[in-house]
Amino acid sequence: MRIASLVTRITQQMRRDRRTLALFFLAPLLILTLMYFIFDTEASDLKIVVTGSDETIVKALKQADFQVTAAEEFSREKMIEKDTDGWLHVENGKMKLTLLNDEPTRAKAVQMQMMQGLQGNEKNTPSIEEKYVYGDANTKGFDTFSPMLVSFFVFFFVFLIAGIALLKERTSGTLERLLATPIKRYEIVAGYVIGYGLFALIQTIIVVLYAVNVLDIVLVGSIWLVLLTNILVALVALSLGTLLSSFATSEFQMVQFIPLVIVPQVFFTGIFPLDGMSDWLQKIGKVMPLYYASDAMNGIMYKGFTFNEVLLDLLILLAFAIVFITINIISLKKYRAL
């Protein structure tokens, strides 16, 4: 019941703080939408140049909605100069496709459209050798890293809001006052976990539903698994945020944890390809909760992984949460030995 009263109080406080509430629920949607438009610009007006080929291929590609130009010769330099999305070179029946790949989504669109266009022309699927001007085949598009964005928002906002809430309790003396009542230390931590966990859950539901239904982001796996993953993410963020808040003396100092704790984690979430990183750098990623969160989220939303396939990630997240929560309960001893 003491836990329930703490949860009620947190809910009341959050409801009164309309701005924080709006930030918590709407800011993720805003950022997600922005990123959607930035990364997923409608792949229209794809310009390609064909060299060494006959009319049939050019015709087929024109039908496939490309802006096709046939040329005698072409080069990578000219691709960059003329902002050409793709250059298809046919020689002795072999096809070589060079992709500009300045935007991964456009490159992917060229590949897809070309496959479809050429398929109608010949019986068997044409084999095309692919080259890239920028990046490589692993450069990722919005679909592949939007799942991790969902977890990132949960982590970011829960970390900040719960951390600042506990900080405020410390500085305003209410935490001390709370500890002069018979409440147990674990009850305080549990109240926080449940109170902010509820808000994180609502946030996740809103963000996921918006991403899937409005922005059309792929969700191959189960939405329940997505929610479960993000509840764990919220637990980790909350317990880490409240823990670090004891090292801050003001809200501004809490904000200073963003470049220290949150930004580095983003580098290991899959926006940047991990395979190319040196070993020691990859090892650093392994101590970061968001690494496992994105791995699980990417698996569930993009690759359709099942519970068993992401179980390890989830267990590691749970372990992070348990460790941080325990340290939280112990660290409250500073205020009251009981």
Interacting residue ranges for another protein, rule: CB under 8 A: 1-2, 4-5, 8-9, 12-13, 16-17, 172-174, 176-183, 335-338
Comparing CB distances to another protein, the nearer of 179 and 262 is: 179
Could you tell me the CA-to-CA distances from 156 to 42, 109, 182, 185, 246 in Å, in that order? 29, 32, 33, 25, 18
- Least gap, CB of 207 to another protein (angstroms): 25
- Least gap, CB of 28 to another protein (angstroms): 23
Comparing CB distances to another protein, the nearer of 119 and 171 is: 171
- Residue 271 · residue 151 · CB < 8 Å: no
* Residue 275 structure tokens: 């395979």
- Least gap, CB of 1 to another protein (angstroms): 6
- Least gap, CB of 234 to another protein (angstroms): 22
What phi and psi values does residue 97 have, to the nearest 5 degrees? Answer: -110, 125
Comparing CB distances to another protein, the nearer of 260 and 337 is: 337
User: Which residue type occupies 271?
Assistant: I
- Least gap, CB of 3 to another protein (angstroms): 10
What phi and psi values does residue 246 have, to the nearest 5 degrees? Answer: -75, -10
Strands 47-51 and 67-71: parallel
What CA–CA distance (Å, rounded) separates 89 from 254?
Answer: 56
Reported in sequence order, the residue ranges of 195-322 that DSSP labels E, i.e. its strands, are none
Reported in sequence order, the residue ranges of the chain that DSSP labels E, i.e. its strands, are 47-51, 67-71, 86-91, 94-99, 128-132
Comparing CB distances to another protein, the nearer of 59 and 334 is: 334
Give the residue among 227, 137, 179 at the shortest CA–CA distance from 331.
179
Q: Is the dihedral of CA 128, 134, 138, 144 positive or negative?
A: negative
Comparing CB distances to another protein, the nearer of 9 and 283 is: 9
Comparing CB distances to another protein, the nearer of 171 and 282 is: 171
Give the residue among 184, 188, 44, 41 at the shortest CA–CA distance from 110.
44
The torsion region of residue 42 among left (phi > 0), alpha (psi -120 to 50) and beta comes to beta
Beta bridge partners of 96: 89, 129
Comparing CB distances to another protein, the nearer of 92 and 181 is: 181
- Least gap, CB of 182 to another protein (angstroms): 4
- Least gap, CB of 166 to another protein (angstroms): 13
